[in-house]
């Protein structure tokens, strides 16, 4: 039976010294993992600075979980090196890496109490009972579970069980905490609340967190650093703001946001005070303008614009306003209007090509002058809002 009481919030005070270990960075150098003829991770090089909250983000099968398991020592490296701080950990058993891992299903002992679950790792390390008692008590106080110390996991809610698993991982004072999709078993409202708690704990401890997720909203809200992976390789590393606003490939643009992507060939790249203004000739739409790095004319590329950066207006309004300089303009027909609460999503088909595009607006803005399914409209967007994708 699940507990329905509201548990106390996380402690807002400083973390006791007995629970804190000095954070260490993680470095991977040309790491490859093969399973027979299958290469799960290929030549992966990455630096995660000490004290960073890093999310490995990507679709199923991209290699992110394999990467984390190699750091933890649950998978052997086929080639390459992994370092925690200055220590090369290749070949070291998990217990000697000073890491802890929080699993997706929490892996709590059902026959043990909350206290016993949290204490387990310390007992395995043969810590004296007095020190164990002090450290477990401090940890349960920190995560707001002191009043549930003698309950079994099945008597707790999903969110409470998640806290037990987190406390069990942190109580051993790891230098790096590895989290395997820790929020996937929670409902949406609890997931949002719990990810805030994770971020708060990471900041309190100052510890290096590396989390696997396929949820971009989760990665955006938690991370200092996002590593986007595809087919065993790193496609882009950056801050949440960089990944969201400046994707560097078509894969990242498609996976991490509601981006409209227009492939074509580079016509020109002209440098000005803001960088390069790149013109891309797209099939059926003609030239589009975007911002990016220099590219040789004739090379295959694409440009993309986020759904929330488009400006949508009726044909009549567009005729009056006319296009602005360095602005892209196309006509499209509304095919569907989806109310999702705060945001309204509008699907459209381009008149010239039939290609589907997406427009997003705040519902309050959309309702001021709503348009209808089947209506032909004009879409405008500035070159400054259009990102050049070289591959």
Please say if the pLDDT value at position 6 is more than 50.
Answer: no
User: What integer is the mean pLDDT of 108-132?
Assistant: 93
Whole-number pLDDT of residue 50: 96
Tokens standing for residue 239: 């801050």
Q: How many residues does the chain have?
A: 391
- In whole angstroms, what separates CA 350 from the centre of its chain? 31
pTM score of the predicted model: 0.89
What pLDDT does 9 receive?
A: 63
pLDDT tens digit sequence for 182-195: 888 778 888 888 88
Note the pLDDT of residue 345: 97
Q: What is 17-245's CATH number, 3.30.300.30, 3.40.50.300, 3.40.50.740, 3.90.25.10?
A: 3.40.50.300
DSSP three-state, residue 24: coil
Strand (E) or helix (H) holding 48: strand 38-48
Strand order of the β-sheet with 53-57 is 99-102, 176-180, 208-213, 53-57, 225-230, 233-238
Do 386 and 305 contact (CB within 8 A), yes or no? yes
Distance CA 266, CA 300 (A): 6
CA angle 231, 266, 289 (to 5 degrees): 100
Instruction: State the pLDDT at residue 4.
Output: 38
pLDDT tens figures, 136-165: 999 999 899 999 999 999 999 888 888 899
> Using CA atoms, how far apart are residues 323 and 325, in angstroms rounded to an integer?
7
- Summarised one tens digit per residue, pLDDT across range 27-67 is 999 999 999 999 999 999 999 999 999 999 999 999 999 99
SS3 content of the chain, % helix, strand, coil (to 5): 30, 35, 35
Contact in structure between 210 and 225 (CB atoms under 8 Å)? no
Structure confidence by residue, pLDDT tens digits, 229-272: 999 999 999 999 999 999 999 999 999 889 999 999 999 999 98
Specify the pLDDT at position 11: 63
The top-level CATH class assigned to 258-383 is mainly beta
Q: Residue 347: phi, psi to the nearest 5? A: -95, 140
> What's the chain's average pLDDT?
91
Could you read off the pLDDT of 80-114 as tens digits, one per residue? 999 999 999 998 999 899 999 988 778 899 999 99
Reply yes or no on whether the pLDDT at 14 is more than 90. no
Instruction: Using DSSP, state whether 52 is helix, strand or coil.
Output: coil
Domain segments of the chain as ranges:
17-245, 258-383
Cβ atoms of residues 346 and 312 within 8 Å: yes
Residue partners of 24: CB distance under 8 A and separation at least 6 = 50, 84, 85, 98, 175, 176, 208
Task: Compute the distance between CA of residue 160 and CA of residue 155 in angstroms, rounded to an integer.
Answer: 9
User: Mean pLDDT across the stretch 211-226?
Assistant: 94
377 strand-pairing partners? 314, 332
The pLDDT score that the predictor gives to residue 43 is 96
Asked whether 389 and 253 are in contact (CB, 8 A), the reply is yes
Residue 169: CA count within 13 A, CB half-sphere? 30
Q: Answer yes or no: is pLDDT of 7 > 70.
A: no
> What does DSSP say about strands 38-48 and 26-35: parallel, antiparallel, or unpaired?
antiparallel
Q: To which residue do tokens 């203004």 refer?
A: 277
Rounded to an integer, what distance in angstroms lies between the CA atom of residue 133 and that of residue 211?
29
What does the pLDDT read at residue 103? 83
């Amino acid at each position: 039976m699940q507990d329905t009481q509201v548990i106390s919030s996380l402690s807002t005070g400083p973390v006791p010294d007995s629970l804190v270990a000095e954070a260490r960075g993680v470095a991977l150098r040309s790491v490859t993992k093969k399973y027979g003829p299958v290469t799960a991770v290929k030549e992966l090089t990455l630096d995660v600075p000490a004290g960073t909250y890093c999310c490995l983000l990507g679709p199923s099968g991209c290699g992110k979980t394999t990467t984390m398991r190699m750091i933890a020592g649950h998978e052997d490296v086929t080639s390459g090196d992994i370092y925690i701080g200055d220590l090369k950990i290749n070949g070291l058993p998990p217990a000697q890496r000073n890491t802890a891992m929080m699993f997706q299903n929490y892996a709590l002992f059902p026959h043990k109490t909350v206290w016993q679950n949290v204490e387990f790792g310390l007992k395995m390390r043969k810590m004296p009972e007095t020190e164990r008692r002090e450290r477990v008590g401090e940890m349960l106080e920190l995560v707001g579970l002191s009043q549930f110390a003698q309950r079994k996991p099945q008597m707790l809610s999903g969110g409470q069980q998640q806290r037990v698993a987190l406390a069990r991982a942190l109580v051993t004072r790891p230098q790096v905490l590895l989290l395997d999709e820790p929020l996937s078993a929670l409902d949406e409202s609890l997931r949002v609340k719990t990810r805030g708690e994770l971020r708060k704990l990471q900041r309190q401890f100052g510890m290096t967190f590396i989390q696997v997720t396929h949820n971009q909203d989760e990665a955006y809200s938690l991370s200092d650093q996002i590593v986007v992976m595809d087919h065993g390789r790193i496609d882009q590393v950056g801050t949440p703001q960089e990944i969201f606003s400046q994707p560097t490939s078509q894969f990242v643009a498609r996976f991490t946001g509601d981006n409209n992507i227009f492939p074509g060939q580079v016509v020109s790249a002209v440098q000005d005070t803001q960088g390069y203004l790149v013109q891309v000739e797209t099939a059926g739409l003609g030239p589009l303008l975007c911002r990016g790095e220099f590219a040789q004319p004739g090379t295959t590329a694409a440009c993309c614009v986020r759904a929330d950066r488009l400006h949508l207006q009726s044909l009549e309004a567009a005729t009056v306003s006319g296009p602005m300089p360095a602005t892209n303009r196309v006509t499209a027909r509304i095919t569907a209007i989806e109310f999702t609460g705060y945001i309204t999503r509008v699907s459209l088909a381009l008149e010239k090509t039939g290609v589907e595009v997406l427009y997003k607006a705040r519902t309050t803005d959309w309702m001021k002058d709503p348009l209808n399914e089947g209506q032909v409209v004009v879409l405008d967007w500035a070159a400054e809002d259009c990102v050049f994708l070289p591959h």
